[in-house]
Each structure stands twice: as C-alpha cells, then as structure tokens.
Amino acid sequence: MNSQTSKSIDSLYEREKKKINTQLQNLFKNREPRSLYAPASYILKNGGKRIRPMLVLFSAKSVGGSFKNVKHTALAVELLHSFSLVHDDIMDNADKRRNLLTLHKKYDLNTAILAGDSILSIAYQELLKDFNNNTKTSIEIFTKALIEICEGQSYDKDFETNKKVSIKDYKLMIQKKTAALTEMCCHLGAVLGGGSQKEIQSLKLFGRYIGFAFQIRDDLLDITADEKKFGKVMGGDLMEGKKTFLLLKALELARGNDKKLLLKLIKDNGTSNKNVLTYKEIYLRLGILELTVKEIKKYTSKALNKLNCLKGNEKEKLIWLAGYLLNRNN
C-alpha cells in the first residue's frame, strides 16, 4: 500500500469516526428520563478508536456494499461493545477507563447497571433499522456474539481464582470475550454488504484473528504503553493478577527465583505497584515482550491471508486497519 492510499484511508477513518461519535450522541439526545440516558450518553463520550463499527463499514465495502446500508449496524456493534465495558468495569470494580471515571464511580452501581442494559436495548433497536432480507440472520449473528462475550467474561472471572490457567485456556477466553465481537462485526458487514459465502467466511475469520491480535496487543500495552495515552495504570494487569498472554508465557519459561516470584503473584492474586518493575524485568530476561510481538504478528498475518479471496481495492481499507491495530500505542 502506497503512502497516498494510506493517507486517504486515514482521512476516511477519521471522518467516519467523527460521524459515528455524533450519531452515538444523537441516539441519547432528548431521551427521557435523563437519570437513565445522561449516564448512557456519558459512557459514549468516553471516546475510543471506534474500531468495531469501522470493521462493519469496511467489511461491507470490501464485498461491494455501501456504508449507507450498514450505518445502523455499525452503531449497534459499538453500543454492544460499550454495554460490555460498563459491566466489565463493574465486575472489576475499575475506577477509570480512558482517564475518565467509570460509570459506576461517576454515578452509582444501580445507575450503571440500568444504563448498560439500556445501551444494549438500543443496540438491538439500531440493528433492526438496517432492514433487508438478511434481518433474521443479522439478529442471530449479533445475539450469538453477545452470548459468547458473556461466556468469555465468565471465563475471565473464573481465571481470577483458578491457579492453573494454560495459554490454551486463555485463548479460548479471548476468542469469546474479544474476538467474538470483532468476528461478528466483519460477519455482519459481509452479510449485509451482499458478500458471497466464500467472502463471508473469509471476513468472519479475518475478524476473529484480528480480535486475537488486538487482545494480545492490549496485554502487551499494559506493561509497555504510556499511562496517559493508554488511559490505565502501567502494570495494572500484574497488580490484579490477570492471567494475560505475557504472564502465562513467562510461567511456561521461568525457572528458579523468577518462577517463584511468578507463582507468588498467582497465589496472592496480584502484586503491589512497587513490584511491577520487578516483574517487567522478568519479562525482559525471558524475552516475553518479543514473543508477544511475534504472537501478535502471527494472528495479524493469519487475518490478512483471509483477505486474499476479495477482489478490487476496497480490501485495502481492512489491510490498513489491521496495520493500525498492530502498531497502536494506546
């Protein structure tokens, strides 16, 4: 992809992201009661890259469809994502997301639960607006992803108390919690865009593998990213004792005192902020950061290979998006 094409897609991405942000806010404008919809609107003001609606738009375009025909579906998937974040933050008792107070901290627990439920309800309302012969299929795809996201979150919670979690277990969890959503975005875009069965299946797998790469990249950023850009405390996963790809890979490779320290972290369900650098040094000694980057590139490559069946230049938007996710620093 030449630099001119890349700049053109970058500009398109920013324009579409701005439209999506405006449309999301308009969904909650003038709705009553404000005690419900103001909190729902607040979580959607929290920004974000809007990757998931872009996957819908770009997937539809890559099979000959148009943005116009999937614009409500693009909003629906972002609403579903926001719903999952609200409940995720409640379950993790998180204080901040993207440097802003989480919904249950800014308001209260009951308000956050109800606002999250309203966001999910409106997601279905939006999904039904892109009405065509594939509406039943769209609802089935959307609902299947919602079920899998809940299953993935349940696995993630189980991991908090399970002292023996394998990388295979971890990948099942992220397939459901993260990749199910990105897979669904591409699947819906391909179906509503009028893709062939081969194109639909290829884009579905593209979305799945991009989801794997995205989550493992997120694990890596927890220990390498700038806190202000990432919007989270560096080493937060270590402090919470989360079984990330990095931690599980380190447990596989560590020996001696490094192994003892890692097992202590698992036993204690986390560590203090002052010990984060100690664990980062273990990762560096074992080459965990490089192995993680290799894993991210592996899944990104698998995703890109699935685009080979697509004809024309529209697939370049998805190639650009994969590169954007691979190189993000927040």
CATH number at residue 30: 1.10.600.10
Q: What is the pLDDT of residue 231?
A: 55
Question: What pLDDT digit, counting tens, does each position of 262-273 carry?
Answer: 999 999 999 999
**Residue 309: which domain range?**
3-325
Residue 330 domain-assigned (yes or no): no
Residue 183 domain-assigned (yes or no): yes
Between 236 and 233, the more confident residue is 236
One-letter amino acid for residue 93 of the chain:
N
Residue 265 domain-assigned (yes or no): yes
b/e sequence 152-187, b meaning 16+ C-beta within 10 Å: bbebbeebeeeeebeeeebbebbbbbbbbbbbbbbb
Question: Which of the four pLDDT bands, split at 50, 70 and 90, describes residue 134?
Answer: confident
Residue 230 above 60 pLDDT? Answer: no
Q: What is the pLDDT of residue 330?
A: 65
Residue 239 domain-assigned (yes or no): yes
- Lowest-pLDDT choice from 52-66, 224-238, 250-264, 295-309: 224-238
Q: What is the pLDDT of residue 281?
A: 97
Q: What is the mean pLDDT of residues 78-82?
A: 97
Length of the chain: 330
Instruction: Give the rounded percent of residues in the chain with a pLDDT score beyond 70.
Output: 97
Contact criterion met (CB below 8 Å) for 182 and 55? yes
Q: What is the mean pLDDT of residues 172-182?
A: 97
Residue 117 domain-assigned (yes or no): yes
- Lowest-pLDDT choice from 71-75, 230-234, 275-279, 283-287: 230-234
Instruction: State whether residue 7 is helix, strand or coil.
Output: helix
Give me the helices (H) in 93-196, please: 103-106, 109-127, 135-161, 167-174, 180-192
User: What torsion do the CA atoms of 73, 207, 214, 51 make, to the nearest 10 degrees?
Assistant: -30
Residue 182 domain-assigned (yes or no): yes
Question: Which of the four pLDDT bands, split at 50, 70 and 90, describes residue 100?
Answer: confident
Residue 133 above 80 pLDDT? Answer: no
Question: What pLDDT digit, counting tens, does each position of 274-330 carry?
Answer: 999 999 999 999 999 999 999 999 999 999 999 999 988 899 999 999 999 888 776
Residue 245 above 70 pLDDT? Answer: yes
Q: What is the pLDDT of residue 48?
A: 82
Number of folded domains that form the chain: 1
Q: What's the 3-state SS for 266-300?
A: HHCCCCCHHHHHHHHHHHHHHCHHHHHHHHHHHHH
